Amino acid sequence: MTEMQKMGQRAKKASQVLATAGKTKKVALFAIADALVNNKAKIIAQNNIDLKNGEENGLTQSLLDRLRLTDERIEGMAQGVRKVAEFDDPIGSVISGRVAENGMEIKKVRVPMGVIGIIFEARPNVTSDAAALCLMAGSAVILRGGKEAINSNTAIADVMREAIASVGLPEDCVQLVKDTTRQSSVELMGLSDYLDVLIPRGGAGLIKAVVENSRVPVIETGVGNCHAYIDKDADIDMAVNIVFNGKTQRPSVCNALETVLVHKDIAEKALPVLKAALDEKNVELHGCESVKAILGDCVIPAEEYDWANEYLDYKLALKVVDSLDDAIEHIRKYSTGHSEVIITNNYEAQRQFTAQVDSAAVYVNASTRFTDGGEFGMGAEIGISTQKLHARGPMGLAELTSMKFIITGDGQIR
Amino acid sequence: MTEMQKMGQRAKKASQVLATAGKTKKVALFAIADALVNNKAKIIAQNNIDLKNGEENGLTQSLLDRLRLTDERIEGMAQGVRKVAEFDDPIGSVISGRVAENGMEIKKVRVPMGVIGIIFEARPNVTSDAAALCLMAGSAVILRGGKEAINSNTAIADVMREAIASVGLPEDCVQLVKDTTRQSSVELMGLSDYLDVLIPRGGAGLIKAVVENSRVPVIETGVGNCHAYIDKDADIDMAVNIVFNGKTQRPSVCNALETVLVHKDIAEKALPVLKAALDEKNVELHGCESVKAILGDCVIPAEEYDWANEYLDYKLALKVVDSLDDAIEHIRKYSTGHSEVIITNNYEAQRQFTAQVDSAAVYVNASTRFTDGGEFGMGAEIGISTQKLHARGPMGLAELTSMKFIITGDGQIR
């Protein structure tokens, strides 16, 4: 039995206790939050080792910043854990129920997933965020973070495990994979005897690798090549507001806008206003020939790459389309199925767009930046699912659970 | 582009039409049902070729029987398709909805999965069953049946495609893979650019192969190593009825009982009554030492194989356990997570059993044979999911769909 299999076995054992732990889960989460705060110095000391290694290994300033833990950031992590503890426990809630003709009562109830694996990249705060959500959802978790943050993650996981044990739950409810070589990811992806689901959190490359190689069921999260379509019947000011917000409020996130499609009948009026707004933030424009004809030489000619990829930066792809059908066709071809918006005052156009665009979140006249667990009323979220199985869109606590049927009778046979 | 990729592309194209086809789906299903009946002779002629090949290739009588189509069986298939057409259309129904504080309306609605792949074994009736369910759920389907039934399946698929085209929907809503070599299964399992989900229907070997090798998300169906636990506080007559029904009413199906665990305090009374009942059907008993001590030499000593496998036959594994905890431990070790039952009149025992046994269907005092889409009020079913993601237990039309969020606003930004 490999080390990873042993971890899987311990996680499964712990998950059986956690499945019926009820409100002790909340007690554990509050203990974790306090422990994180009380152990700030220890965590920061370990984080400093990661930062020093990172500098020596030439990590960019932006990566170093994501890696850095401060008193304030650790307080924030603790606050995040407390917030999760305040949610309603999803476990045991009855999803649906009926009495069969023969008198059997058939209930469908929410139960824990069991053991959840999470593979993530640099940010050490994911360690406490993800663990708290899994724990509240009644599942044991095996975390496998990036090597850049291994010392920070280990310190955080140790603090959490101690806190969990202090309230009488198995410390193996939370485990961190210490081996950060590629091999450990591969082993985790093959751990189908113990893991019920594997969730990758990170960039497109990580997600693709997990989806393609995992034998454990995967929930695909996050990549968002999001589109706005400005219809011929759009209110131009509203359109500009929504695009400006979607592109510039926080360009590095998955629900940020990446491409804007503009109906030809409104392009000459809308594009200059849009450009003026985006100029405030020095957004680099990549456009088709028609866009270039209207806006001039400031527009960089768009290539296949511009339509197909997330910039996650102050850059925007712009295209003039002949019709709503063409806009939908473009979205079908290039969208990653995350979030898309139509800006229009035309009733038929919004009906067609919402019916035919097949993405996790389809908007009419509102910013794609709202695709978020908090905004959708789920409290926290573990990620945004862009696949169609199990969960689609923001995944909160409920989406981290499974269900089972409980059937009670008095001797019914078939 | 391979032939399989072309099929995938055609299916995706067809699925986009089907997604908004509304009631035309029902018209198509009635047309399919009529066409199956009207083309009985043609289908039976092709079926005769399969039967002849099967005889030459030494198929068992039982397999030949499953393969055989008669006028009556084709009428039955048509009737099954009509039944699906009479269900409510799941597409577009609102799963949940709310108004956010900023006034945006957020709805979660049911949408089609897109393209569903189904890999199945010998029985040709699966071709029409599965296609009808997928079509009604708004998804295009790619069917890959066994080589034994290829001529029958081709005839059935051709009849269905013609009927679909006759009502104005794309015939590629239903496609059959003509190549029945192993290679075509492998290609289908790698078709992640076009397939949204792959559902294997068949024996344990097929399901395992698909789960382990598919890059497309899989819904695991069917294998049922089902347990009954006769508690010390059981009504013995009820227990015997439930076990007799679970074991003998239809031993070849996945919700049939395979192992019975008996509490030691009731074993001496219960086992002889149980044996007397099972003797009526000549059920072969495989038991532990304690069972053998009570029932005598008719009991074949049980080995690891007996606990770990489905017999799907008139055979039953029997074990005396010391406690409810031991019963739950045994079930955790050997169950495939399908259906388990406790027979008891003890309130605490049923609470513990239903909370701690982690299977798709957990029964108290009723036969496991009820784990079935029809019995659970879902109408038809495509299979019984034994995994925890997306769907668990019987999968009806709703479980063949996905969802998306539709958000309507009047210019909200973040």
ipTM score of complex: 0.93
Report the share of chain A in percent with pLDDT over 70: 100
Rounded to whole angstroms, how far apart are CA atoms A278 and A287?
A: 14
Rounded to whole angstroms, how far apart are CA atoms A304 and A319?
A: 12
How does residue B87 score in pLDDT terms, banded at 50, 70 and 90? Answer: very high
Q: Is residue A287 classed exposed, middle or buried when 0-12, 13-18 and 19+ CB atoms within 10 A define those classes?
A: buried
- Facing B359 at nearest CB: one of A376, A404, A409: A404
Which of A164-178, B190-204, B355-369 is the least confident region? B190-204
pLDDT of residue A123: 85
Strand pairing category for B94-99 and B105-112 = antiparallel
Query: In sequence order, what are the beta bridge partners of B222?
Result: none
Residue B301 three-state SS: strand
> Is the Cβ pair A356, B387 closer than 8 Å?
no
B176, containing H or E segment: strand B174-176
Rounded to whole angstroms, how far apart are CA atoms A110 and A67?
A: 36
Report the share of chain A in percent with pLDDT over 90: 88
pLDDT of residue A203: 81
Q: Which residues of B289-298 are buried (b: 16+ CB within 10 A; e: fewer)?
A: ebbbebbeee
Q: Work out the mean pLDDT of chain A and round it to a whole number.
A: 95
B308 in contact with A, Cβ within 8 Å: no
Residue A2 has pLDDT above 90, yes or no: yes
Q: Is residue A303 classed exposed, middle or buried when 0-12, 13-18 and 19+ CB atoms within 10 A define those classes?
A: exposed
Count other C-beta atoms under 10 Å from residue B64's C-beta. 15
> Is the Cβ pair A211, B192 closer than 8 Å?
yes
The answer to whether the beta carbons of residues B266 and B237 sit under 8 Å apart is no
Interface of A with B in 119-148 (CB under 8 A): none
A405 in contact with B, Cβ within 8 Å: yes
The segment with the largest mean pLDDT, out of A236-250, B113-127, B193-207, is: A236-250
Angle (nearest 5°) at CA A228 between A224 and A229: 140
- Facing B409 at nearest CB: one of A211, A365, A410: A365
Give pTM, 2 decimals: 0.92
**Residue A88 gets which letter from DSSP?**
P
Q: How many CA atoms lie within 13 A of B61 on its CB side?
A: 0
Angle (nearest 5°) at CA B243 between B241 and B248: 95
Which of A138-147, A197-206, A358-367 is the least confident region? A197-206
B226-261: per-residue pLDDT in tens?
A: 999 999 999 999 999 999 999 999 998 999 999 999
Residue B222 has pLDDT above 80, yes or no: no
- State in Å, rounded, how far the first CA of chain B is from the last one: 43
> Is the Cβ pair B404, A19 closer than 8 Å?
no
Rounded to whole angstroms, how far apart are CA atoms A245 and B358?
A: 46
Residue B45 three-state SS: helix
The answer to whether the beta carbons of residues B218 and B248 sit under 8 Å apart is no
Chain B residue with Cα closest to A198: B389
Interface of B with A in 82-111 (CB under 8 A): 98, 100, 104, 106, 108, 111
The answer to whether the beta carbons of residues A149 and A178 sit under 8 Å apart is no
The single-letter code of the amino acid at B386 is: T
Mean pLDDT of the region B42-63: 95
Instruction: Name every residue whose Cβ is closer than 8 Å to that of residue A282 and which is 6 or more positions away in sequence.
Output: A314
